[in-house]
């Protein structure tokens, strides 16, 4: 019998039963939530926000501006209040007419407000318009600050934008039409499921809240992620070395060794066959090795940059040379691994060691004079807090790193996922890239502090004073052929800063490629997708703007262009090599064991 044919009492009885069942679930979930929150570890307050000095400087600058240029401040205030009052009057006029429609709306389009009710319903439209007016007023006030240090102003701009984004009406259940409609349509089931999703995330992160971005049950590393065939052929306490099986009868003589960042796991380069850079390289006839870094726990507290260089980079280079019987290898470094590859290459050059024939850098910063948006987290208020916290924990916990990078794109990686999960009760999507993004790693205490202090804050690599195994090195010490790939909208390693470091290398043979898109999508950009293009400039540009002005745009992926560059520096073709040798037996099939180990909390 259809619902509309049932007696009214039956419908009410069914709704009553669902209500009672949901109340029981809410009670159970509330108990779980309380238990989960009780496990939250107390951490240094500085890890959760900037010091009050940021806003004190902003207020001081604003007051100074008010004293020195009162007309400008008054004009700004009158403009804001004028718009707000006009908006209020127009809304009242519509109500007086008895028309249930909003007043004229000249606010800019914003994808957060895509529900039609934001445009058609007087209440929601009023909230949206007033919020966007408020946001514009805050932006103009901060943009107009004159009596403030540029670095401080950048921080004020960033954190004020975070506050404005936080208070968007879409982020609150009572003022989110999508969430309200969903709750009504499901008789409140969406709210119960949302609470369950919230409890699940807090339980999974030991009392901290970190939104799950992807369905954790949809993927398994080694089964439907990181499936390129290969084997672990060496292992020490720092990394597993994976060699991939050839798919061609012959290969280039010079092997390729890839160092991914140890902030995340290596399989970003091997998500699935269709977008795997590792598989693509194997199919082009390269003997490919990749380092899979250990995910450290507190026992690694004393591991520093020297340990990563000596037991990681130099050891991996030596093992690849031994396995392939080659005097030289080609190397790749991605992000922080590219920065550390630079340190290693500078040290090898000064030591007279020619083990590396050429090097490629993916989205790598080597000059931190302008680290971009992430620089707002590199002041002493945050770094001092990190140093205090890692002294207690022995590691910089992955949740802090994940949260920090997520806030660089808070609407996409925090608020929108939270709305869908906690307000709408939706399950997270089965998205491989977001799954990888949530599969983070810890950083050893000593290494984290050395990186943040010596490289990010003090910029010692660009200054030629960063110590490696007892001796200072700098960018000019790197003299072998290099290729750098930067990404146009990279919010972690800005391409202009990447270019500025690239220019300072001592190499004569230098190639710079600018890919469209961001830090990950610009790199994981297979030719088959034909999605993002890239720029090259055959001239010797001195500045990023000069490079961009004279650059040639090419449609499609940069992979084939780099493949040709790499092939020209990889020797003759020889019979394909199988993983390992008599001294390097296959210890485990790829993707290895380190990539799936989660250290104990």
Close Cβ partners of 472 (under 8 Å, ≥ 6 residues apart)? 460, 464, 465, 466
What does the CA dihedral 411, 414, 418, 420 come to, rounded to 10 degrees? 50
Structure tokens at 595: 């990539």
Distances (CA, A) of 410 to 97, 166, 357: 41, 9, 41
Q: Across-strand partners of 293?
A: 239
**Structural contact between residues 482 and 502, judged by C-beta atoms closer than 8 angstroms:** yes
What does the CA dihedral 304, 305, 309, 315 come to, rounded to 10 degrees? 20
CA 417 to chain CA centroid, Å, is 15
- Reply yes or no: is the peptide bond before residue 591 cis, omega within 30 of 0: yes
Instruction: Compute the distance between CA of residue 2 and CA of residue 395 in angstroms, rounded to an integer.
Output: 59
- Name residue, tokens 């159970």: 28
Q: Across-strand partners of 484?
A: 361, 512
Distances (CA, A) of 120 to 22, 91, 92, 113, 362: 33, 12, 15, 12, 47
Q: Please pick, among 335, 456, 483, 487, the residue that the annotation labels catalytic.
A: 335
**Structural contact between residues 292 and 242, judged by C-beta atoms closer than 8 angstroms:** yes
Give yes or no: 335 in active site.
yes
Structure tokens at 265: 């796991």
Residue 541 burial (10 A CB sphere; 0-12, 13-18, 19+): middle
Q: Please give the positions annotated as active site.
A: 335
């Amino acid at each position: 019998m259809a619902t509309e044919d049932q007696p009214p009492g039956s419908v009410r009885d069914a709704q009553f039963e669902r209500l009672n069942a949901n109340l029981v679930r809410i009670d159970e979930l509330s108990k779980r939530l309380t238990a989960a929150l009780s496990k939250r570890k107390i951490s240094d307050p500085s890890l959760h926000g900037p010091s009050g000095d940021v806003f004190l400087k902003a207020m001081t600058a604003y007051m100074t501006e008010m004293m020195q240029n009162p007309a400008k401040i008054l004009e700004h205030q009158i403009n804001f209040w004028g718009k707000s009052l006009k908006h209020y009057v127009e809304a009242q006029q519509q109500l007086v007419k008895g028309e249930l429609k909003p007043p004229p709306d000249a606010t800019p389009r914003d994808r957060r407000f895509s529900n039609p009710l934001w445009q058609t319903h007087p209440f929601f439209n009023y909230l949206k318009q007033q919020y966007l007016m408020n946001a514009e007023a805050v932006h103009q006030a901060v943009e107009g600050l004159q009596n403030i240090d540029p670095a401080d102003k950048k921080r004020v701009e960033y954190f004020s934008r975070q506050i404005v984004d936080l208070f968007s009406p879409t982020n609150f259940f009572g003022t989110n039409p999508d969430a309200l409609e969903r709750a009504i349509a499901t008789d409140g089931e969406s709210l119960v499921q949302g609470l369950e999703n919230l409890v699940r995330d807090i339980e999974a992160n030991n009392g901290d809240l970190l939104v799950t971005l992807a369905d954790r049950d949809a993927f398994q590393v080694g089964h439907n992620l990181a499936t390129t065939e290969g084997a672990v052929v060496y292992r020490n306490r720092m990394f597993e070395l994976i060699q991939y099986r050839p798919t061609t009868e012959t290969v280039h003589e010079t092997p390729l060794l890839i160092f991914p960042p140890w902030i995340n796991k290596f399989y970003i380069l091997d998500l699935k066959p269709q977008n795997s850079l590792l598989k693509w390289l194997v199919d082009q006839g390269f003997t490919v090795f990749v380092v899979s870094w250990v995910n450290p726990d507190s026992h690694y507290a004393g591991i520093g940059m020297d340990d990563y260089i000596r037991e990681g980079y130099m050891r991996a280079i030596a093992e690849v040379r031994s396995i392939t019987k080659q005097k030289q290898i080609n190397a790749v470094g991605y992000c922080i691994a590219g920065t550390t590859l630079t340190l290693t290459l500078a040290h090898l050059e000064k030591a007279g060691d020619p083990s590396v024939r050429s090097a490629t850098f993916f989205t790598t910063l080597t000059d931190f004079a302008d680290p971009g948006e992430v620089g707002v987290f590199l002041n002493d208020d945050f770094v001092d807090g990190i140093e205090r916290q890692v002294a207690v924990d022995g590691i910089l916990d992955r949740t802090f790193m994940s949260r920090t990078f997520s806030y660089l794109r808070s609407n996409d990686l925090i608020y929108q996922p939270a709305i869908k999960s906690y307000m709408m009760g939706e399950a997270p999507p089965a998205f491989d890239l977001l799954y990888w993004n949530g599969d983070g790693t810890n950083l050893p205490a000593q290494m984290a502090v050395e990186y943040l202090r010596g490289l990010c804050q003090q910029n010692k690599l660009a200054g030629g004073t960063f110590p490696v195994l007892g001796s200072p090195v700098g960018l000019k010490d790197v003299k072998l052929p290099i290729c750098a790939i930067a990404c146009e909208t990279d919010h972690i390693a800005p391409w202009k800063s990447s270019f500025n470091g690239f220019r300072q290398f001592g190499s004569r043979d230098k190639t710079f490629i600018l890919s469209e898109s961001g830090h990950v999508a610009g790199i994981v950009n297979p030719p088959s997708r034909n999605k993002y293009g890239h720029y090259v400039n055959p001239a010797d540009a001195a500045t990023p703007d000069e490079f961009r002005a004279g650059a040639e745009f090419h449609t499609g992926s940069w992979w084939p262009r780099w493949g040709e560059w790499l092939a020209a520096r990889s020797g003759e073709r020889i019979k394909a090599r199988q993983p390992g040798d008599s001294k390097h037996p296959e210890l485990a099939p790829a993707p290895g064991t380190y990539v799936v180990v989660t250290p104990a909390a």
